[in-house]
């Protein structure tokens, strides 16, 4: 529920947890803590992660005073299944290997459209395809549920069935024929390149606190390549484990917690019990809609200003809504309330960073600033939270390995060629 620091705020003392089986809270003291809750941009109308993911790690680290970087960089996967509002399957990924294999994207008029946006057509990068799809949708060229179509029916049916068995079955479960028909899809919020600032050994600015995976920022830059999300988790998860195992015996110690911080966290979590119980679903639905419309794939100054105001209103409304606390065991409505608090806080950081970046690059696209500008003097956003206000700074990028316009690929290819030549001559 909350990261608890020492009274001076310099080190981690432990974590305040909640046992949902009983509703009881427990403070667990720890010499070291690893935050690896995953990101999960479930504040958007269409999203791939399960609905129980609510950016808890990012929210806890913000409240602990740690800076988040690159929060404007939210990646949308072009093809999420759309099967109507009444099923959680909406937003689930239809893998991009389908487009790589030759699948076509079609508008509601059943005509291809990607040639209007990129010479690579359906094989363009995720950000370009997602923007093109949203542009078609906003123009009204949509299918039954407001999305577009992907089709494989022009390809060899047995081959599609064999190579994409899982996707064929997933679509069939929702009543779609991926092999011989058209499947309705929509861009879906998939991955957050932003996260807490951390070091190569996964340490953070708080002594004893480590972070890895999608809770961290800076690993993927402004855009993530497909497959690198799993690599991020496994590589940095391993690095964090190795670093903690070495650090704890040498420098780790039991540190007394800030008792006032524990009391404040408990009061924060118990807040809705003091108000009249109400339905939280309207809060969630409002957030879905305006984050998608105003702070999603396409943004501008006006839309981000609207999102800022709506997030403030939403938090005010949520704070006034109550939850029945008669029985706190398995009280999912209570957990929903706390999850929404976390999502609103992280959404504020996304909007704040997006306002600060007045150009377009990677997953961030401003229709009022569509060009990528001044690459040589690139900077990243750093968002901080003081318990009330949120601030954003610009931090210069240190091009320590490769500079804009340079590449390591030619050098690597040359080295690979030399190695092969040596191998051939010795054989």
Q: What is the pLDDT of residues 179-221, one digit of tens each?
A: 999 999 999 999 999 999 999 999 999 999 999 999 999 999 9
Q: Is 139 helix (H, G, I), strand (E, B) or coil?
A: coil
Terminal-to-terminal C-alpha distance of the chain: 61
36 and 120 assigned to the same domain: no
Residue 131's H or E segment, with its range, is: helix 126-138
Residues 4 and 265: beta-carbon distance below 8 Å = yes
Assess if residue 42 is contained within a domain.
Answer: yes
80 and 68 assigned to the same domain: no
Residues 289-339 have pLDDT tens digits of 999 999 999 999 999 999 999 999 999 999 999 999 999 999 999 999 999
Reported confidence tier of residue 47, pLDDT bands at 50, 70, 90: very high
334 and 209 assigned to the same domain: yes
Assess if residue 378 is contained within a domain.
Answer: no
160 and 262 assigned to the same domain: no
Residue 175 belongs to domain spanning: 76-190
Residues 135-187 have pLDDT tens digits of 999 999 999 999 999 999 999 999 999 999 999 999 998 889 999 999 999 99
Assess if residue 229 is contained within a domain.
Answer: yes
351 and 229 assigned to the same domain: yes
Tokens of 71: 């929060």
pLDDT of residue 344: 98
Find tokens 């427990």 and name the residue: 26
Assess if residue 326 is contained within a domain.
Answer: yes
Does the pLDDT of residue 419 top 70, yes or no? no
Q: Is 167 helix (H, G, I), strand (E, B) or coil?
A: helix
Tokens of 370: 């569509």
pLDDT of residue 256: 98
For the annotated catalytic residues, the residue numbers are 77, 99
Half-sphere exposure of 27 (CA within 13 A, CB side): 18
The C-alpha atoms of residue 294 and residue 282 are separated, in whole angstroms, by: 18
The C-alpha atoms of residue 15 and residue 33 are separated, in whole angstroms, by: 8
Number of structural domains the chain divides into:
2
Q: How far is CA 334 from the centre of its chain?
A: 23
52 and 119 assigned to the same domain: no
Residues 351-378 have pLDDT tens digits of 999 999 999 999 999 999 999 989 999 9
Distances (CA, A) of 110 to 80, 142, 148, 211, 328: 18, 9, 9, 46, 51
335 and 237 assigned to the same domain: yes
Residues 229-248 have pLDDT tens digits of 888 999 999 999 999 999 99
Of all residues in the chain, the percent with pLDDT exceeding 70 is 97
221 and 344 assigned to the same domain: yes
Assess if residue 366 is contained within a domain.
Answer: no
Task: Say if pTM beats, i.e. exceeds, 0.75.
Answer: yes
Q: Phi and psi (nearest 5°) for 40? A: 90, 85
| DSSP state at residue 400 | S
Assess if residue 372 is contained within a domain.
Answer: no
- If you average pLDDT over every residue of the chain, what do you get? 94
pLDDT of residue 425: 44
**Domain finish residue from 356, 391, 408:** 356
167 and 201 assigned to the same domain: no
186 and 104 assigned to the same domain: yes
The CATH number given to whatever domain includes residue 27 is 3.50.50.60
30 and 159 assigned to the same domain: no
Of all residues in the chain, the percent with pLDDT exceeding 90 is 84
343 and 273 assigned to the same domain: yes
In the chain, how many H helices and how many E strands?
11, 13
Assess if residue 213 is contained within a domain.
Answer: yes
Residues 35 and 211: beta-carbon distance below 8 Å = yes
The C-alpha atoms of residue 278 and residue 321 are separated, in whole angstroms, by: 6
Assess if residue 344 is contained within a domain.
Answer: yes
The CATH number given to whatever domain includes residue 106 is 3.90.700.10
């Amino acid at each position: 529920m909350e990261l608890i620091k020492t009274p001076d705020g310099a080190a981690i003392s432990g974590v305040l947890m909640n046992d949902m089986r009983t509703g009881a809270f427990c403070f667990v003291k720890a010499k070291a803590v690893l935050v690896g809750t995953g990101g999960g941009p479930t504040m958007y109308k269409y999203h791939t992660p399960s609905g129980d993911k609510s950016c808890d790690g990012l929210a806890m680290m913000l409240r602990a005073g740690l800076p988040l970087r690159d929060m404007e960089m939210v990646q949308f996967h072009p093809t999420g299944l759309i099967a109507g509002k009444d099923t959680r399957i909406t937003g689930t990924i239809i893998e991009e290997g389908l487009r790589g294999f030759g699948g076509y994207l079609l508008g509601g008029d059943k005509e291809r459209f990607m040639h209007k946006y990129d010479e690579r057509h359906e094989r363009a990068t995720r950000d370009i395809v997602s923007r093109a799809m949203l542009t078609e949708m906003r123009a009204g060229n949509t299918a039954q549920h407001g999305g577009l179509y992907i089709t494989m029916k022009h390809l060899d049916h047995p081959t599609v069935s064999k190579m994409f068995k899982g996707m064929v079955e997933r679509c069939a479960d929702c009543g779609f024929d991926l092999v011989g028909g058209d499947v309705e899809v929509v861009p879906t919020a998939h991955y957050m390149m932003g996260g807490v600032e951390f070091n190569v050994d996964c340490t953070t600015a708080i002594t004893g606190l480590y972070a890895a995976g999608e809770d961290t920022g800076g690993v993927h830059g402004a855009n993530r390549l497909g497959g690198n999300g799993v690599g991020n988790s496994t590589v940095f998860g391993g690095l964090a484990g190795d670093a903690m195992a070495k650090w704890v015996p040498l420098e780790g110690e039991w540190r007394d917690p800030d008792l006032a911080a524990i009391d404040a966290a408990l009061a924060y979590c118990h807040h809705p019990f003091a108000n009249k119980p109400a339905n939280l679903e309207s809060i969630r639905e409002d957030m879905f809609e305006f984050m998608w419309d105003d702070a999603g794939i396409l943004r501008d100054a006006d839309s981000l200003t609207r999102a800022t105001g709506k997030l403030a209103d939403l938090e005010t409304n949520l704070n006034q809504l109550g939850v029945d606390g008669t029985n706190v065991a398995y009280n999912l409505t209570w957990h929903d309330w706390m999850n929404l608090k976390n999502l609103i806080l992280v959404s504020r950081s996304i909007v704040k960073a997006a306002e600060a970046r007045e150009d377009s690059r990677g997953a961030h696209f401003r229709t009022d600033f569509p060009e990528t500008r001044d690459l040589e003097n690139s900077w990243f956003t750093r968002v901080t939270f003081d318990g009330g206000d949120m601030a954003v700074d610009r931090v210069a990028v240190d091009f320590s390995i490769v500079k804009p316009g340079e590449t390591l690929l030619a050098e690597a290819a040359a080295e690979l060629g030399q190695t092969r030549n040596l191998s051939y001559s010795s054989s």
